[in-house]
Homo-oligomer: A and B are copies of this chain.
């Protein structure tokens, strides 16, 4: 079967590795964006991502909240998973509907289950 590619927006290399390992061991492909701007450029590039996993803090003008909003403007059904250690409380005011906030630290299984749950809830795939 073809690849299911998840866009991962994360600037911390350690977290990048953890996230990529968890997703690839579960059968997902990943494309990495080291900044919010790179994430949005990739989204606009026409490549077909099935979900986005984004850190809230990105060493960048654009944070994860803005990346998720941009992703949803391009595709209103895009599954969104946020990761944050210190900004989980802001999810209620800054998150998008039907997204999941993973409070750091989290186990790899939480990320995989969150991604699969959101994908399975929107079966009207391309």
Smallest distance from the beta carbon of A67 to chain B beta carbons, Å? 11
- CB contacts (< 8 Å) of A44 on chain B: these are none
A114 to B115, CA, bound (A): 11
Smallest distance from the beta carbon of A100 to chain B beta carbons, Å? 5
Beta-carbon contact of B108 and A114 below 8 Å: no
Known: A113-B113, A125-B88. A120 touches B102 (CB 8 A): yes
| Chain A: interface size category | 35 or more
Interface residues in chain A, defined as those with a beta carbon under 8 Å from any beta carbon in chain B: 1-4, 15, 18, 22, 26-28, 69-70, 72-73, 76-77, 88-89, 91-110, 112-117, 119-120, 123-126
A98 to B120, CA, bound (A): 12
- CB contacts (< 8 Å) of A99 on chain B: these are 97
